[in-house]
Amino acid sequence: MNVRFEMETRPKTGIVVGAGSRGNGYPWYAKEYPDQLQIIGVCEPRDFQRNRTVKAFDIAEKNAFKDWKDAADLERFADCVIICTPDRLHKEPAIAFAKKGYHILLEKPMAVTEADCREIVATCKENNVILSVCHVLRYIPWVKKVKEIIDSGAIGDVVNINHTEPVGFWHFAHSFVRGNWHKESGSSFSLLAKCCHDVDLICYWMSGRKCERVSSFGHLSHFHSGDKPKDAADRCLDCPAHVETTCPYSAKKLYLGFVKTGHIGWPVSVICDTPDIENVTQALRDGPTAMILLTDTAIVSVKYRSYCRRKLNHEHAPAHLFDPEDTGRMRGMASTQGIV
């Protein structure tokens, strides 16, 4: 879309739609760089999160909405909206605000179906507004440098890219077994939620080359009832000591351990409003700590025209799940005149 903001010196104004852990990051950027961005509205159904954002960033009460539809019904009062709702709730606000003339900054994944993605794009084109999806890896200096090297032909033609994203065992348990993405019907599958960044990154490197074939497979290798530890209870707080103290996935150790050392940010801040010993304990007692069945290993292979083949490994297999930390994305690139 050939759409650009008007060339003005004033900071752009935005409305945050969904003031959770991710959505709350944008107002902090605006607070640090007020000459670039000002957050003047917030839409958030949970009272605590909405009121916290209003107070922290001096947002007028009239611009604080429990339902984003109330904001979309008004005449446009900001330049853009920053949509940070759960994955399955991206399409409706994106379309509604685009029709009102707002530029759209849409958190990843763009949507959970191809049809929804196409409808969002079509609506933004029809209303001549910018649609930007938050695939931030493209803007990392070394990523841009790799793109420059590929496009220059300095390493010849790319033949193969092997890209793996390991996820720390505790991170996977927090987000994809117990957390917001624990069930596909309520969010999206882990490959889309966690690795759309990685697919986009490789598409960016390979831009201009036509994709000919895509295949994908996955399986559940660990997170099922058959691997439940002997004597384990349904909740970590109820597990006998000999089980809980030796379990790497103990929610008691993870969340209460963070709080006891003074860490009250992510991931603790996601499970309750006020992260202290009492509230975290209550969240562990009442929250979604039961394991559910979901894929923990997924692989995508993509063949491009010419002789380039891409393979993206998104593995939550035990070799990666038991990593003590999120070890960071790993990738290798083979070309006709070198390797990266």
pLDDT tens for 151-195 read: 999 988 888 888 777 777 777 777 667 766 666 666 777 777 777
Quick check: is 24 in a domain? yes
| Claim to verify: residue 55 and residue 39 sit in the same structural domain | yes
Pick 44 or 318 by higher pLDDT.
44
| Claim to verify: residue 152 and residue 281 sit in the same structural domain | no
Quick check: is 114 in a domain? yes
Instruction: Please say if the pLDDT value at position 312 is more than 90.
Output: no
| Claim to verify: residue 40 and residue 108 sit in the same structural domain | yes
Q: Going by C-beta distance under 8 Å and a sequence separation of 6 or more, which residues neighbour residue 133? A: 106, 107, 108, 110
Q: Mean pLDDT throughout 300-327?
A: 50
Quick check: is 260 in a domain? yes
The residue among 71, 100, 134 that closes a domain is 134
The residue among 242, 267, 286 that closes a domain is 286
Quick check: is 1 in a domain? no
| Claim to verify: residue 218 and residue 242 sit in the same structural domain | no
Q: Mean pLDDT throughout 265-274?
A: 80
Number of domains in the chain: 3
Closest by alpha carbon to 18, among 42, 40, 41?
42
| Claim to verify: residue 209 and residue 313 sit in the same structural domain | yes
Alpha helices in 182-324 (DSSP H): 190-205, 241-244, 251, 257-260, 268-271, 277-286, 318-321
Quick check: is 279 in a domain? yes
Quick check: is 162 in a domain? yes
Q: What is the pLDDT of residue 324?
A: 45
| Claim to verify: residue 54 and residue 179 sit in the same structural domain | no
| Claim to verify: residue 80 and residue 42 sit in the same structural domain | yes
| Claim to verify: residue 197 and residue 296 sit in the same structural domain | yes
Q: What is the pLDDT of residue 6?
A: 57
Return d(Cα 42, Cα 45) in angstroms, integer: 10
Strand stretches in 102-261, DSSP E: 103-106, 131-133, 158-164, 211-219
Cα end-to-end span (Å), the chain:
32
User: Where does residue 338 rank: exposed (0-12), middle (13-18), buried (19+ CB within 10 A)?
Assistant: exposed
Return d(Cα 127, Cα 72) in angstroms, integer: 15
Q: What is the pLDDT of residue 336?
A: 63
Of all residues in the chain, the percent with pLDDT exceeding 70 is: 79
β-partners of residue 339 are 334
107: alpha, beta or left? (left if phi > 0; alpha if psi -120 to 50)? beta
Task: Give the pair of three-digit tokens for residue 325.
Answer: 């930390």
How many other β-carbons are positioned within 10 Å of the β-carbon of residue 5?
10
| Claim to verify: residue 111 and residue 56 sit in the same structural domain | yes
| Claim to verify: residue 32 and residue 111 sit in the same structural domain | yes
Q: 68 near 93, Cβ under 8 Å?
A: yes
Q: Which strand ranges, in their side-by-side order, compose the sheet holding 103-106?
A: 64-65, 37-43, 12-17, 80-83, 103-106, 131-133
How many other β-carbons are positioned within 10 Å of the β-carbon of residue 90?
27
Return d(Cα 277, Cα 176) in angstroms, integer: 24
Tens digit of each residue's pLDDT (9 = 90 or more) over 61-97 = 999 999 999 999 999 999 999 999 998 999 999 999 9
**Local confidence band at 102 (pLDDT 50, 70, 90 cut-offs):** very high
Q: What is the pLDDT of residue 273?
A: 77
**Local confidence band at 27 (pLDDT 50, 70, 90 cut-offs):** very high
Tens digit of each residue's pLDDT (9 = 90 or more) over 124-140 = 999 999 999 999 889 99
The listed range with the strongest mean pLDDT (58-67, 141-150, 254-263, 293-302) is: 58-67
Instruction: Please say if the pLDDT value at position 293 is more than 60.
Output: no
Q: Please report, for residues 187, 273, 284, the alpha-carbon distance to residue 278 in angstroms, rounded to integers and kept in the order given.
A: 28, 11, 10
Pick 29 or 220 by higher pLDDT.
29
Q: What one-letter code names the amino acid at 309?
A: R
Q: 77 near 100, Cβ under 8 Å?
A: no
CATH number at residue 35: 3.40.50.720
CATH number at residue 156: 3.30.360.10
Instruction: Please say if the pLDDT value at position 201 is more than 90.
Output: no
Name the residue range of residue 269's domain. Answer: 229-286
Closest by alpha carbon to 112, among 93, 131, 88, 137?
88
**Local confidence band at 296 (pLDDT 50, 70, 90 cut-offs):** low
The residue among 262, 286, 310 that closes a domain is 286
